[in-house]
Structure 1
């Protein structure tokens, strides 16, 4: 099944580095990490899982460099994290805002203050999605916890997807809040909610497929996985009844280079008709992206 080179890709997890190593992104994890290696040796909290993490020593224009890398691999639109008050984010918006979908990392521990923040930033900055890392919150919050319901309700009201890490987390923190079985209750109670599972769902990827068959508004993105490691259950699902529910997402620059991702993608055994949906069309529909993208 040849990889199409003429599809303008939508990448649902890509960010512009803020420094040579991006260690600034991971300070939030420090209180949760107990082992010495994670605290002192790792530059990113799941470093043991990745080889060849991109480094940007000597790159003066990190924003321009990132969008040049996107162009090299025919990525038209990228979903990036939005951080209020960041000069870095503001400059990305000024230079390339028409190619960015903003996702807002949110914290259910903040209660109604967080709901009000979500609505304000959605109105002022066009937030396209909410993102939640249940195991990375301090304190951690399970996917089906009552605190989460405030955020899910806000997403339904604003008609935007919520992107949630599921499965065993990479950082060495407890995994219980991200068990895939917890997604079932959320999809049952919020049938309108567009829920996108991030970061693999392993070792419960087969359960993730079962739940996607059950719930039409449940989706899977391939974030944080090199293409050679996409779960077979997910590839098989995309090639059969799940072609509309599996979406491409990378992990640049946190753990993977775009060169590696796009070198490995052609080896994924998707059917010909699945590739455009996976790389572009499903994301365009879900996030209401207008051409060109």
Structure 2
């Protein structure tokens, strides 16, 4: 069993009761007819959720007990909003990051203002992330093709990717069948093939594994030098066999152990149990060490 340090690459602060402006507000998720399905799926609905409410101090205590050295907070704007909304989401995480060395954070962007195929001012988001890197020290950006109805290979994203390469920011992109009642097609992993061909220097982390196209996702990660898979929102006990086989072996000469990154998606999946189960994967300790620590540490260090 791997007993070394862990970096959780896809993390949210614990459920709060602080209203819709809180980083993770359980009531807001429950009242969203699309996201509420996920709350039921992960046992977070009803009078008592599987993951209890917790303060930031409680969260840090859980991290220390589990051996989690660092957690990567992911900002996100699920639906249309303003530049002020994006800044507020990023600033909340920056406030947390500035008070402790237990977190770093990934920013986000404005969704297409008028839905798919809306191409007004494609330099707005590049300007925004440049300002946020300077003011809030973001380490990357988080995009959500499914709720935005826009696949990641849409030309709407391309000026953003160019700016990410210029600023050395990574991109976390949602892939696979969405848990909420959002469209699936934008999350089809093969869209990332176009992105990685057009921007070979862009570091892309495909989070949520990419089910039901897991084998395709592993082949894409092996094909493209800077494309990685993050296991967020998946219990290690339920990792698809195609993913575990890739982690233990190779495809076209690429070792899968170098291309997969651990993430819990706490509090949807409780960090403590997810970390414990990942440590106990039936894989060589050296593979688990890369998966839970070295791969994301190297990616963030660039």
Same fold (TM over 0.5): yes
RMSD of aligned alpha carbons: 2.6
Question: 2:147, 2:183 within 8 Å by CA — same for their partners in 1?
Answer: no
Q: Is 1:13 matched with 2:26? A: no
Name the counterpart of 1:227. Answer: 236
Q: Is 1:181 matched with 2:185? A: no
Give distance in 2, aligned partners of 1:22 and 1:270.
42
Give distance in 2, aligned partners of 1:186 and 1:157.
16
Q: Is 1:263 matched with 2:276? A: yes
Give distance in 2, aligned partners of 1:135 and 1:26.
20
Over residues 247-277 of structure 1, what are the superposed CA-to-partner deviations in whole Å (9 max), with x where a residue is unaligned?
Answer: 1111111x11123213322442222210111
- Give the secondary structure class of the aligned counterpart of 1:186: helix
Q: Is 1:274 matched with 2:292? A: no
Name the counterpart of 2:61. Answer: 68
Give distance in 1, aligned partners of 2:203 and 2:210.
17
- Give the secondary structure class of the aligned counterpart of 1:109: coil
Query: Residue 252 of structure 1 is aligned with which of 266, 273, 281?
Result: 266
Give distance in 2, aligned partners of 1:18 and 1:114.
29
Question: 1:108, 1:150 within 8 Å by CA — same for their partners in 2?
Answer: no
C-alpha change, 1:43 and 1:118, in structure 2 (3 Å) is closer
Q: Is 1:95 matched with 2:99? A: yes
Give distance in 2, aligned partners of 1:133 and 1:238.
25
Query: Residue 80 of structure 1 is aligned with which of 73, 84, 98?
Result: 73
- TM-score by structure 1 length? 0.84
C-alpha change, 1:141 and 1:73, in structure 2 (3 Å) is same
Question: 1:26, 1:44 within 8 Å by CA — same for their partners in 2?
Answer: no
Q: Which one scores higher on RCO, CA 8 angstroms, separation ≥ 6?
A: 1
Unaligned runs of 5+ in 2: 44-48, 76-85, 114-121, 250-254
Query: Residue 49 of structure 1 is aligned with which of 33, 38, 41?
Result: 41
Unaligned runs of 5+ in 1: none
Question: 2:69, 2:102 within 8 Å by CA — same for their partners in 1?
Answer: yes
Q: Is 1:107 matched with 2:110? A: yes
Cα drift, residue 53 of structure 1: 3.6
